Chains A and B, each alone.
Chain A
Amino acid sequence: MKHNFIFRGLSLLAFVMLMQSCKDEPPVPTPPNAYGTGVFVINEGPFQNGTGTVTFINRSTSGVQQDVFQQANGRPLGNIAQSMASFGTQGLLVVNNANKVEVVDLKDFKSVGSIEGLGLPSKIVVAANTGKAYVTEWVSFGSPGRVAVIDIISRTVIKSIPVGDFPNAITFHNNRIYVANSNENTVVEINASVDTVLRTITVGDRPNGFVSQGNNLLVLCGGNPSWTGSETAGAIATISGAQTSIASFPAATFHPSNFTSHPSGNAVLYEVNGAVYSQSLPVPASIVPANPVINRGFYHFSLDPTADGLLYGTDAGDFASNGWIFRYERNFALKDSIRAGIAPGYIHYR
């Protein structure tokens, strides 16, 4: 009995020493340019009392790294991470309730600075070759928002452009910036060379996403939801130069979201009523969703635009536990599923 006790004591001591030795091992060095290419899943994090996180997926190995910002910087990203863009070797992470854009070096994801003092920033796009990023700012709910023009090198806001209510989608198309006023029925067109508003285009109610298709820009509009008291059907608007045509969904109960390109390049994908549908181009005058390509809904859904890129859909579950990423082949067959952080709401492909 006594021997047994001593043996147990020694075993415990050995275990503790083993654990200690494990602790003292040097960390695995980060390979150079570890985040140069890959898929960045932006997890919003729990509402109010939490922090957003970033899940990184290596396309070639399918290796996954969770919470890479915290790992690299020893601090959380901030409350409600919203979106990401990249320029050169830098990544720009938009953190909504922290009113900032965090700038990281993509070789190790270490923060190199931040742009503070924004007003509830949401979505970001980089205008190729200009060195500028455009960030939508809600500012406050129910009042006009704005777009912050950021010089990426100096990490400063060089201009603020007033836009409409709740600007929540932005894209770069034909050297112009397009901003969706998501609580209105308008899209603002901005000249990316001089950063001035060219015009405000009327589309359907509540525009929420863009897809570039050649010279045309397609805008998905969700329509007014039922709780507004004036429910309207969703629509797809096609902006073709000075002309805009609007195609409506069949009934007011259709509120599409998650607009993205079709892998074939000659159609678009959207989600409505809990399923993903394909819409061939050009969009007909009335849209009839039929034969879903994926028979489920997602919190976020988009196509990896790189060659042979997969389709990525996220599931936020109860928004209080880690979500999932579902990857689909280009023929819409489910490939695999990957753990994400809490509330995976945006994906940046690079």
Chain B
Amino acid sequence: MKKRSGFFIYALSCVLPVAAQQRDTTVQLAPVQVEAVLPPVQRQPALFTYTPDSLLLRALPAASVADWLQWQGAVSLRSYGPAGLATVSVRGSSSQQNAVLWDGLSLLSPLNSTPDFNLLPLWLFSDVQLQTGSASTDFGSGAIGGALHLGQSVPQHSNLSAFVEGRSFSDRSAGLAYTHRAKKWWYSVRGLYRQAQNDFPFLNTAKFGAPEERLSHAATRMGALLQEVGWQVAPRHRLKLRWWYQAYDRQLPPSMTEALSTAAQADSANRLFLSWDFQGNKRSFSLKAAYLNELNHYADVRTNLDERHRFEALLQEFNLQQTFAGNQQGALLVQQAFYRATSPNYDLGVQQQRLAVVPGWRINRKQFSTQARLRAEWVDGQLVPLTPSLQHEQRLGKDYEIHAAVARNYRLPTLNDLYWRPGGNVDLKPELGWSSELALHKKAQYKGHAFALRSGVFFTEVDNWIIWLPNPQLGFWSPRNVRSVRSWGFEQQLNWSKSLGKLQLRATADYAYVHTTNQQVGAGEADIRGKQLIYVPRHQVRGRAFLQYEQHFVGWQFGYNGLRYTSTDNNSFLPGYEQSSLLFGSDIRFKKHLLRLNAGIHNLFNTQFQAVAWRPMPGRHFHLNLTYHLNKI
């Protein structure tokens, strides 16, 4: 770890003197900003999308995607602590049923397909967007609950940004972003270093008298570096090369019911990305390739485990779009993936080949647009059931839009499911289901007040749900396709904004109802039929409001997670909880220089809560950061 952190400090020190710059234009003051829509998102427009608020990015530059997602309406975060494993459930999905995409290419580990959202720092990306709903047709295996898109937009200017931040519990971080923009090429680098003790106090309700204790064995350290070189080869041709290296070391703290923990985890990832884009008048295409090399190292002296799980991936994608007369558009997407993995839990190194072909057709009219796509995918030469999708957007007047979609979705068994020793089951089928959704979007202006309402319902059913269960014949656990899960509910989001001279106000309220139950279960599991899945709250409420006056702002965020069951028969549960945070910020400008001071109070009312049973979360705590921007160098 010392060697790695030294590397990051060296890398940061190399780029510091290079020039002055600003991170990007999204953190400018003044109007409310929405991040640019990524091209991959456009392939399959979602009925509901969520992007980080520009003021939130400004106030919390060291935040992870998990820190942001916990405040989003349809997302339920399962966090083991401030820097621990953080997975999400979107619309009742399992933690393995959400895609994470970097410019359209999947970052999911083929070993377990369980993304840890605490390992994704927001600082590295200019474009971050979560879309809810099935997107398997375009994004492949696992995009059932939703898909997280990460990307970098093309810089328009040379900028420099740097920040330092201090948080409670010895949490320190620093970041730097530099972009050099020339006429035909650009270079950008973003680096982040963060370390924390996370030794926060909590009431240990697992002990007599609920004594106050401090979390032990929870220190973390992470570094991340993302570099990009872009070349505008010709007016319509663009090449991009990226390298993203990241290392994350963390101690894994004990739960309240454990005496101690000696376990630690080290994750590292090398990700290379190359793309060629062509944008013509009627035809456009992109060719992308990525190489991923990732290591998960788990060690525990107490259990005498020292395991290294590694995978490599070679991903390629060709995406062609052709516009025809009558505003019709044809599309062809071809994706290829090759995975190779090694683990002490596999007999041998394992490999997997995937090839997908996705033709599509889109009709655009003034009042509506309709899109149909069909995905055919072969895994090691075997055809996965075809996954079609159909979407329709209908504009009703200038203020109303109706969106409807129906899609088939799937999730392939992971390599652990197939080859884990003992228990791996090579006969597993993919999880397979249907999802449908209907949403109404309305915008309105009334006496200077701007409103935007998004309201929608969804229904998803997934068969062949993969679950690890003990196999009494074999004497160990083994995965099986035994359950069927139905999820339905609705999402509401109301946005409001108002300008009063130099004073700008905006607020957002989210509510999501998610009813996710086992419909078919295995032999001897009758008690869990019809029961809500564990850790999926039925009710989720989110709210946030920002007040901005010239160079200053105040923000408030609120989140409520309803009761969450912790046993599959719904006999045990965690009560609902709420939490709030307050954010403040102020700017000092001098010509191209901008200095920002931000502060925040988190868990404002010092709520003692658990997102995962017996895993304590921090009470009230604080952060302070200073950011420097040099814009348009």
Residues in chain A within 8 A of chain B (CB atoms): 45-46, 48-51, 73-79, 97-100, 111, 116-117, 119-120, 140-143, 222, 225-227, 255, 257, 273-274, 297, 299, 315-322, 342
Given known A97-B258, A317-B525, contact A342–B567 (CB-CB < 8 A): yes
Complexed CA–CA distance, A253 and B221 (Å) = 47
Q: Are A320 and B567 in contact (CB under 8 A)?
A: yes
Q: Are A321 and B257 in contact (CB under 8 A)?
A: no
Q: Are B259 and A98 in contact (CB under 8 A)?
A: yes
The 4 closest A-B pairs by CB, nearest first: A227-B422, A321-B569, A99-B259, A79-B257
Interfacial chain A residues near B210, Cβ < 8 Å:
75
B19 CB-CB contact with A under 8 Å: no
Task: Determine, out of B63-71, B353-361, B611-619, the stretch whose residues face the partner at the interface.
Answer: B611-619
B382 CB-CB contact with A under 8 Å: no
Given known A49-B614, A317-B527, A322-B567, contact A274–B472 (CB-CB < 8 A): yes
**Contact flags (1/0) for B146-181 with A, using CB distance below 8 Å?**
000000000000000000000000000000000000
Complexed CA–CA distance, A297 and B475 (Å) = 10
**Chain A facing B: main interface SS:** loop
Q: How many residues of B contact A (CB 8 A)?
A: 40
Interfacial chain B residues near A98, Cβ < 8 Å:
257-259
Interfacial chain B residues near A78, Cβ < 8 Å:
206, 257-259
Complexed CA–CA distance, A142 and B304 (Å) = 6
Given contact pairs A76-B257, A320-B534, enumerate 9 new A-B contacts (beta carbons under 8 Å).
A78-B258, A98-B259, A116-B259, A140-B301, A226-B422, A297-B472, A299-B470, A318-B525, A342-B572
Given known A46-B567, A99-B259, A99-B260, contact A318–B473 (CB-CB < 8 A): no
**Contact flags (1/0) for B523-534 with A, using CB distance below 8 Å?**
011011000001
Interface of chain B residues 491 through 525 with chain A (CB within 8 A) = 522, 524-525
Q: Name A78's closest neighbour in chain B (CB-CB).
A: B257
**19 A/B residue pairs, CB under 8 Å, sorted by A:** A46-B566, A48-B258, A49-B612, A49-B613, A50-B613, A50-B614, A75-B210, A77-B257, A79-B255, A117-B259, A140-B301, A255-B475, A274-B473, A318-B469, A318-B525, A321-B528, A321-B567, A321-B568, A322-B527
Interfacial chain B residues near A46, Cβ < 8 Å:
566-567, 613
Complexed CA–CA distance, A46 and B565 (Å) = 13
Interfacial chain A residues near B527, Cβ < 8 Å:
317, 321-322
Q: Are A49 and B422 in contact (CB under 8 A)?
A: no
Complexed CA–CA distance, A75 and B569 (Å) = 22
Given known A140-B303, A141-B304, A227-B421, contact A75–B206 (CB-CB < 8 A): yes
Interfacial chain A residues near B469, Cβ < 8 Å:
318-319
Q: How far is the CB of A33 from chain B (nearest CB, A)?
A: 23
**Contact flags (1/0) for B571-615 with A, using CB distance below 8 Å?**
110000000000000000000000000000000000000001111
Interfacial chain A residues near B257, Cβ < 8 Å:
45, 50-51, 76-79, 97-98
Complexed CA–CA distance, A257 and B476 (Å) = 13
B325 CB-CB contact with A under 8 Å: no
B447 CB-CB contact with A under 8 Å: no
Interface of chain B residues 522 through 564 with chain A (CB within 8 A) = 522, 524-525, 527-528, 534
Which of A51, A222, A319 contacts B206 (CB under 8 A)?
A: A51
Complexed CA–CA distance, A12 and B314 (Å) = 64
Most chain B CB inside 10 Å of its own CB: which residue of A51, A77, A321: A321
B446 CB-CB contact with A under 8 Å: no
Given known A46-B613, A141-B304, contact A318–B260 (CB-CB < 8 A): no
Complexed CA–CA distance, A99 and B262 (Å) = 13
Complexed CA–CA distance, A181 and B534 (Å) = 37
Q: How far is the CB of B579 from chain A (nearest CB, A)?
A: 20
**Contact flags (1/0) for B182-224 with A, using CB distance below 8 Å?**
0000000000000000000000011110100000000000000
Q: Are A75 and B205 in contact (CB under 8 A)?
A: yes
Interfacial chain B residues near A120, Cβ < 8 Å:
302
Which of A73, A77, A116, A141 contacts B303 (CB under 8 A)?
A: A141
Complexed CA–CA distance, A79 and B206 (Å) = 10
B14 CB-CB contact with A under 8 Å: no
Complexed CA–CA distance, A117 and B259 (Å) = 8
Interfacial chain A residues near B205, Cβ < 8 Å:
75
Interfacial chain B residues near A45, Cβ < 8 Å:
257
B467 CB-CB contact with A under 8 Å: yes
Interface of chain B residues 431 through 455 with chain A (CB within 8 A) = none
B305 CB-CB contact with A under 8 Å: yes
Q: Name A120's closest neighbour in chain B (CB-CB).
A: B302
Q: Are B302 and A140 in contact (CB under 8 A)?
A: yes
Q: Are B528 and A48 in contact (CB under 8 A)?
A: no
Which of B255, B260, B473 contacts A48 (CB under 8 A)?
A: B255
Complexed CA–CA distance, A227 and B474 (Å) = 10
Q: How far is the CB of A253 from chain B (nearest CB, A)?
A: 10
Q: How far is the CB of A4 from chain B (nearest CB, A)?
A: 29
Complexed CA–CA distance, A51 and B205 (Å) = 12
